[in-house]
Chain A
């Protein structure tokens, strides 16, 4: 691509930031404009519900690159502005500040927004989402002993916040609509483990809980949550973590193909050859699974940022890794390799009543995913085995007398 080309990146999160960095790394010399709706430059979100919430990490240390990087690299970073409309014929984007910006290539990295709590009282004071640095900065002063925190949604974000809040001495109740925590994302054995871990740390978890309303005090601040059962839980702080919705409406309106996300191919191209989509907002081929889907993860954001930049600069496509995730709660590090949806067999390696074990997921006899609890060997091995589509039996991984090194060596040897 020649130096008079203009690339506009919509969304300055992990994916957008990575695309900008990679474009320069891969030698793109044209104009790069990175448009984000937050005040901060691209930053890491994962620590928000962990170290940053606990006050263990300064704001600047969240930034993917220091603010000077963007000027030094001639990347126009435009903050606190969002895109409102794409004119694909004119190749322009209308922005929320009334300006219009022209592109030769457009990269959409608009991410996702928290799903709003669909009950009366959701707009009361001291009810927070857990998505942005601003969200956390607003609630942080209240995250200390003496406060009563109600968390709506027992997904990873909600549970990580519960862990941080307990460590800071808050009284914590978690509400989950499903009959177990993490129901949407993992197996019952993992749900049991996390429920037990949180209860041991003094978190009250209510599953099958239908929240009907949040009640406020005279100052308009939340004071309780009322369940359909009639139970009322007193609180002075509510965190909502009930999933996210991709920010794709204005993209779909422009005629770019979408599903549950912007449809892209392996090079992150949409149905418009001038438009790419990356990160949480993209619906991508999942090459290790023979299907497509939308991933909400750091791995995906970084990988697709690199892939789009590589394709634009005509470099070979970077490796498509097996999707991976992690979650830190208390002294438990969970590392997840692969996608466990649609598994038909779950095998536990180790003792799920201990702090070190892993659950291996199979579909039609093939290993598709692993949840590794304080077990990096299981995590890293599984990632390689899934990448290699290795032939490995459930009985083998369940046998803790065989080391992961030996399991990997024999599985890979079988492949020749």
Chain B
């Protein structure tokens, strides 16, 4: 189990136990985290699981593939530390990961 903290745009934080091998998006959906829609279920088709990764964890979340990069290019409110949470695989290395969700995914 890997602890991940999701903080919504109003500042409320929620901790979840994520399973190694699932995506950060799946951990959020399983635990009913508001602020992540993930309409396409993780197919990297919709850009509705956008999160901001705490800067010290950004490198540990892995490289973005071209598809994710392009999707993020056109999402709203994108920052340097934006990721699609369906494309971040949970690993032991991510223990204590902190991400913030945007005000809206649409």
Name A residues whose Cβ lies closer than 8 Å to a Cβ of B.
Answer: 21, 25, 44, 46-47, 50, 61, 64-66, 69, 298-299, 302, 319, 321, 324, 326, 328, 333, 335, 374-377, 380-381, 384, 404-405
Contact = CB atoms under 8 A, between A and B. Distances in A.
A154 B29 CA distance: 33
Interface in B56-83: 67, 70-71, 73-75
B39 A69 contact: no
B45 interface: yes
Given A298-B41, A321-B106, A326-B40, A65 B74 contact: no
Contacts of A21: 32
Contacts, number: 55
A347 B73 CA distance: 24
Contacts of A333: 43-45, 67
Nearest to B44: A333
Contacts of A66: 30
Given A324-B46, A380-B47, A381-B74, 15 more contacts: A21-B32, A46-B41, A47-B43, A65-B29, A302-B39, A319-B106, A321-B106, A326-B46, A328-B43, A333-B43, A333-B67, A375-B70, A376-B70, A384-B74, A405-B74
Contact count band on B? 20 to 34
Interface string B73-101: 11100000000000000000000000000
Given A65-B30, A319-B106, A333-B67, A376 B74 contact: yes
B43 to A, nearest CB: 6
Give the 7 A-B residue pairs with the shortest CB-CB distance, closest first.
Answer: A380-B74, A326-B45, A376-B70, A44-B41, A376-B71, A377-B70, A302-B39
B34 interface: yes
Given A69-B32, A377-B73, A298 B26 contact: no
Nearest to A376: B70
B26 to A, nearest CB: 7
B106 to A, nearest CB: 5
B103 interface: no
17 contacts: A44-B41, A47-B43, A61-B22, A64-B29, A65-B30, A298-B39, A299-B46, A319-B106, A321-B106, A324-B46, A326-B40, A326-B45, A375-B70, A376-B74, A377-B73, A404-B74, A405-B73
Contacts of A375: 70
A392 to B, nearest CB: 16
A299 B39 contact: yes
Nearest to A44: B41
